[in-house]
Each structure stands twice: as structure tokens, then as C-alpha cells.
Amino acid sequence: MSETIVFLAHAVDGAIARADLEALAAATALAQQIPGATLVAGLAGDGAAFAASAIAGSGAARVLAVEGPEFAGPRYATDALAAEALARAAGATIVVAAGTSRWMRVLPGVAHRLGGRVETHLTGVRAEGGQVFVSRWYYRQRMEAVLTRAHRPWVLVVDPGCAEPWKGAAGAAAVAVEPVAVAVPDGARRTQVEGVRAASSGAQTIRPDAAVLFVAGAGWTKKQADGKVHAEDAQKLILGFIDAAGASLGGSKSVVDQSGEGQAVLPFMTHLNQVGQTGATPRHPKGLATCCHGEEPHTVGWRFINERRAVNLDPGCGWSRGKADVLYVADAFAVMARVNELLEARK
Ligand SMILES: Cc1cc2nc3c(=O)[nH]c(=O)nc-3n(C[C@H](O)[C@H](O)[C@H](O)COP(=O)(O)OP(=O)(O)OC[C@H]3O[C@@H](n4cnc5c(N)ncnc54)[C@H](O)[C@@H]3O)c2cc1C
């Protein structure tokens, strides 16, 4: 069967976000791997036609756009209408989009409206012998599965951070944009987007694009060799490193629970920072865990960290059992003080 692969993206202020460009890389690779496949770009938002120039050279045979201020803000009703209209106008058999919170909210519903199927949290998409295979992890990243389906249309939602973003060849000519008209019923306007407000602690310390994830564990808040807790030193060392290295801050469940229970030992630590089975599975090239025991429910959140290092006083901690590439058996207070000194000297 010849496939029509539709890459969906939001145009925000006339631009296409990095996560969408990663999904475009997956869509273009898939189109190249399937003989006779057609790639179509479907853009939604205000300035969608303008954004089309950003993907010139992607190999999209057609560029369709649902354009207008009604489609600018993230709103279920209009986002779903736009995605459905784009998929229908293109005659999509496969839809590829990024797993942003905006697309994740609507695409399962859109797949249902199209009579299709959906797969989310994909970490890979490929074709072999004309058959499409997708991979994703189950049971909190403990098992990887490879799936295929005969049913069409098939909506594939790719997790951000799994592919290099697509980069255009300079000077490629843009394909003419075909507008797709969508009637917005009054009911769809009941929700008005007034703005976006980021959680303040998260906005300051959680940086998904950072090269390094720095994880602080509960050890920072425990009595040290002198029998005392050194919370102020811990704060200074942790925030000093985060600032100097531009790192993202993660925490173990034990440390983030302490703030929730009113023991604001590290007050900047919230549940948004928690890494692990009941927390996040961030994607960074490198990770450094400090004063964290490295138990399985925590380290399972490290599945996608490429190079893992840990500092722990206990040579028998969880990191030493194959969870880290390098374990420094050392006092994290001393190690981070020295690391911060070196970073300071490099400024
Ligand atoms: C269903 C379930 C889900 C869970 N989900 C998660 C989850 O999503 N994320 C998560 O993190 N946990 C999770 N947990 C909890 C997990 O099992 C651990 O209890 C938790 O990760 C322990 O946190 P910690 O390592 O920071 O603290 P601790 O176990 O208290 O370890 C502190 C460590 O600090 C070290 N230390 C102390 N002082 C120093 C120093 N000066 N220098 C160096 N090292 C020092 C100690 O040697 C010790 O290893 C879950 C548990 C369950 C049952």
C-alpha cells in the first residue's frame, strides 16, 4: 500500500518549534524508507503560511495550512478541528506529530474522529519492506516494544528529544501553500486562551534543553559527619552549580517529598523536579546524581540519560550496581564545592 504521511505542526508566531522539527525528521526519514510514499506537511496556527518557508526542502509534496488567529492559541476544540481537517484534506494514512502537551491532548481524539488508531510516546519510527514499525517503552521505561499495525489512518506521536531536529537545505524553494478551510462552531469558542503562566520554581530550574541533568538526593538534607544538617551549604552548592553550568535540576522522590511535607530544607525543590518511576524521564546527554542512593524507582527515570555519573559516600549504593557509568565514592559537599570553584575560575 502506498502511504501518505502527513507531518502536523503548529505555527507559533510564524515559526515551527524544535520538537515539531524533530517530528519532521522522523516523517521525512519514514517517507524515504517507504517506496512510493508521499509526504505532506499540515500546518495550523496564525502565520502558518509564513512558517511553510521554514520547512522548504523537507521533501513535502504539498503544504496544507489551517490559518488564522482562531487557531493560534492551544485550545482542544480548534486544535482538534485543524488536525482533523488537515489529515482529511491530505488523505493521510499516517500522521506524524511531536508529543508536545498541545498535540498529546488532541491527537488521540483526532485519531478517533478519523476512524484511526494512535500510538503515543514513540521513541523511534522506521519502515522496512514497506512496513512501518514504531518503538516505545512500557512500564515506566523498563521494557521497550516494537509495534506495527495494518490499520489506517495511524497517528504517530513522537516524544521530544528522540531525534535531531530536521535542518533545511539552504535556498530550497518553498512549496505553494494550500489553504484548508475549517468552520469553527460557536461551541468551540467557549474556551478563550488568555495567556500562559509558568510554574515559577519549574521555570527557574527545569531546563529540558540543558546538556547536564543535576540530581540532588535526600542525602543533602541529612546529618553529615559532624552530626549536623548543612541545609544552607547544600542550597548554595546546588544552585551555584545549576547557575554556573546552565544545568537542569532534578530530585529524588525523598527530597521533593520533604518540601511537600513542610520541611522546606531545599525550598526550590518541587514535585516538578522529581525524576523516576512516579516522576519524570528527562532526556539530557549527561547526568550527575549527588547524595542520591540510586534505587531502581529513581534510576528508571534515567533511561534516556546517555552518560550517568553519581557521587555517593556509600560504595555499595544503587549506582554501583550497573546504574551509573562512573561512581565517585566521595562527599558531595566537597566535590561540588570544588566543581563550583573550577566553574567560577573559568568565567
Ligand atoms: C512505588 C514507588 C515509586 C517511587 N517512585 C520514585 C520516583 O519516581 N523517584 C524517586 O527518586 N524515588 C522513587 N521512589 C522512592 C525510591 O525507592 C527511594 O526511596 C528514593 O529514590 C530515595 O531517595 P534518595 O536516594 O534521595 O534518599 P536516600 O535513600 O535517603 O539516600 C540518600 C543518599 O545520600 C547519600 N549521602 C548522604 N550524604 C552524602 C554526602 N555528603 N555525599 C554523598 N552522598 C551522601 C547516602 O549515602 C545515601 O545513599 C519510589 C518508591 C516506590 C515504592
Tell me the CATH number at 269. 3.40.50.1220
295, 166: one domain:
no
The residue-averaged pLDDT of 252-275 equals: 86
Atom of ligand 1 nearest to the CA of 314: 47
What is the average per-residue pLDDT within 93-122? Answer: 97
Q: Are residues 185 and 262 in the same domain?
A: no
CATH of the domain at 120: 3.40.50.620
Q: What is the signed CA dihedral for 254, 257, 262, 264, rounded to 10 degrees?
A: 60
**Which 8-state DSSP code applies to residue 271?**
G
- Of 207 and 324, more confident: 324
Identify whether residues 87 and 160 lie together within a single domain. Answer: yes
How many Å apart are CA 271 and CA 300, to the nearest integer?
A: 17
* Per-residue confidence (pLDDT) for residue 140, from 0 to 100: 83
Tell whether the torsion through CA atoms of 280, 283, 284 and 289 is positive or negative. positive
pLDDT per position as a tens digit, 172-198: 777 899 999 999 999 999 999 888 776
What pairs with residue 346 in β-bridges? none
pLDDT greater than 60 at residue 43: yes
Cell of 337: 564545592
Residue 318: which domain range?
A: 200-346
Residue 279 lies in a domain: yes
User: Which of 156, 189, 222 is the endpoint of a domain?
Assistant: 189
Q: Which three cell numbers stand for residue 286?
A: 549527561
Ligand 1 touching residue 219 (CB < 6 A): yes
Q: Which residues pair with 312 in a beta bridge?
A: 329
**Nearest CA, atom 45, ligand 1:** 291
Percent of the chain residues past pLDDT 70, beyond the cut: 96
Q: Given the CA of residue 318, which atom of ligand 1 is nearest to it? A: 49
Mean pLDDT value of segment 231-259: 94
Q: Is the CB of 287 under 6 A from ligand 1?
A: no
Domain boundary (158, 189, 220) is at 189
CB-ligand 1 contact for 298 (6 Å cutoff): yes
pLDDT value, residue 81: 98
Q: Is the pLDDT of residue 80 over 70?
A: yes
More confident residue, 47 or 82: 82
How many A from CA of 297 to the centre of ligand 1? 9
* CA-only gyration radius of the chain, Å: 23
Strands 117-128 and 131-138: antiparallel
> Which of 220, 298, 303, 327 for mutating ligand 1's site (highest number of atoms within 8 Å of CB)?
298
- Give the pLDDT score at 264: 60
pLDDT band, very low/low/confident/very high, at 124 (cuts 50, 70, 90)? very high
180 and 205 in one domain? no
Tell me, what's the pLDDT at 195? 82
C-alpha closest to that of 307 among 329, 290, 323, 294: 323
Grade residue 265 by pLDDT with cuts at 50, 70 and 90. Answer: confident
Residues 185, 298, single domain; the answer is: no
Residue 195 lies in a domain: no
Mean pLDDT confidence for 52-76: 93
End residue of a domain, out of 167, 189, 211: 189
Whether 149 maps to a domain, the answer reads yes
Are 152 and 256 part of one and the same domain? no
- C-beta of residue 273 within 8 angstroms of C-beta of residue 250: yes
66 and 137 in one domain? yes
Whether the CB of 218 sits within 6 Å of ligand 1: yes
C-beta 2 within 6 A of ligand 1: no
Same domain, 151 and 251: no
13, pLDDT greater than 70? yes
Ligand 1 mutation target, pool 213, 277, 302, most atoms within 8 A of CB: 277
Q: Which of 141-145, 216-220, 261-265, 269-273 has the lowest mean pLDDT?
A: 261-265
The CA distance from 171 to 95, in Å, is 27
74 forms beta bridges with none
User: Quick one: which atom of ligand 1 is closest to the CA of 294?
Assistant: 25
Is it the case that residue 259 has pLDDT exceeding 60?
A: yes
Centroid of ligand 1 to alpha carbon of 326 (angstroms): 18
**Residue 222 shares a structural domain with residue 158:** no
For ligand 1, the distance from its centroid to the CA atom of residue 135, given in whole angstroms, is 30
> Looking at the structure, do residues 173 and 226 belong to the same domain, yes or no?
no
Instruction: Say if 59 falls within a structural domain.
Output: yes
**Contact (Cβ atoms closer than 8 angstroms) between residue 151 and residue 131:** no
Residue nearest to atom 16 of ligand 1 (CA): 297
Q: How many residues does the structure list for the chain?
A: 347
Atom of ligand 1 lying closest to residue 332 CA: 42
Residues 253 and 303 in one domain: yes
> Which H or E run includes 87?
helix 76-90
CA distances from 138 to 90, 121, 298, 327 (A): 32, 10, 16, 28
Tens-place pLDDT, residues 149-168: 999 999 999 999 899 999 98
For the residues 340-344, what does the mean pLDDT come to?
A: 97
Q: Residue 171: what pLDDT?
A: 67
> Which three cell numbers, joined as nine digits, stand for 36?
512510493
- State how many domains the chain has: 2
Q: Are 61 and 199 in contact (CB under 8 A)?
A: no
- Residue 262 pLDDT exceeds 80: no
Q: Is the pLDDT of residue 201 over 60?
A: no
Query: Which residues is 214 bridged to in the sheet?
Result: 249, 288
Asked if residue 171 and residue 122 are part of one domain, the reply reads yes
Strand partners, 43: 9, 65
Question: Does the residue 142 lie in any domain?
Answer: yes
Q: According to the model, what pLDDT value does residue 170 have?
A: 64
Quote the mean pLDDT of the chain.
93
pTM to 2 decimals? 0.84
Name the closest-CA residue to atom 26, ligand 1. 217
pLDDT at residue 299 tops 80: yes
Q: Is residue 194 part of a domain?
A: no
Residue 280, beta-bridge partner list? 275
pLDDT digits (tens, 9 = 90+) for 126-150: 999 999 999 999 988 889 999 999 9
